[in-house]
Amino acid sequence: MCYSILRHFLCVGGKEMTKVAYKIVINQDWCKACGICIALCASKVFAANDQGKAMVVNEEACNNCKSCILHCPDFCIEEKEL
């Protein structure tokens, strides 16, 4: 599994209340190495491994835009709360 740690802040009444950590997880068994997520991620979080499958290489750059999750045609990518 590849993962990226994301940190978000939940705001209640305009005040930061809770810090929540997430990770981006790629199901390598389902990945067909299409490269869509690598091309779409403006933050360059992903790179291709030697099989062309996506892997996380720059986890701290993730801004939680969810573009990769929404566009992966094989539903390989998900966000999991830590």
CA dist 74 and 54 (Å) reads 12
Residues forming the site for ligand SF4 (CB under 6 A): 4, 24, 26, 31-37, 40-41, 43, 45, 53-54, 62-68, 72, 74, 76-77
Q: Give the position of tokens 């990518």.
A: 77
Q: How far is the CB of 6 from ligand SF4 (least distance, A)?
A: 7
> With contact defined as beta carbons under 8 Å apart, do 64 and 8 qualify?
yes
The tokens describing 59, both together, are 């986890």
Q: How far is the CB of 13 from ligand SF4 (least distance, A)?
A: 27
Alpha helices in 1-82 (DSSP H): 36-40, 67-71
Q: How far is the CB of 9 from ligand SF4 (least distance, A)?
A: 16
Nearer to ligand SF4 (CB atom), residue 11 or residue 58: 58
Nearer to ligand SF4 (CB atom), residue 63 or residue 82: 63
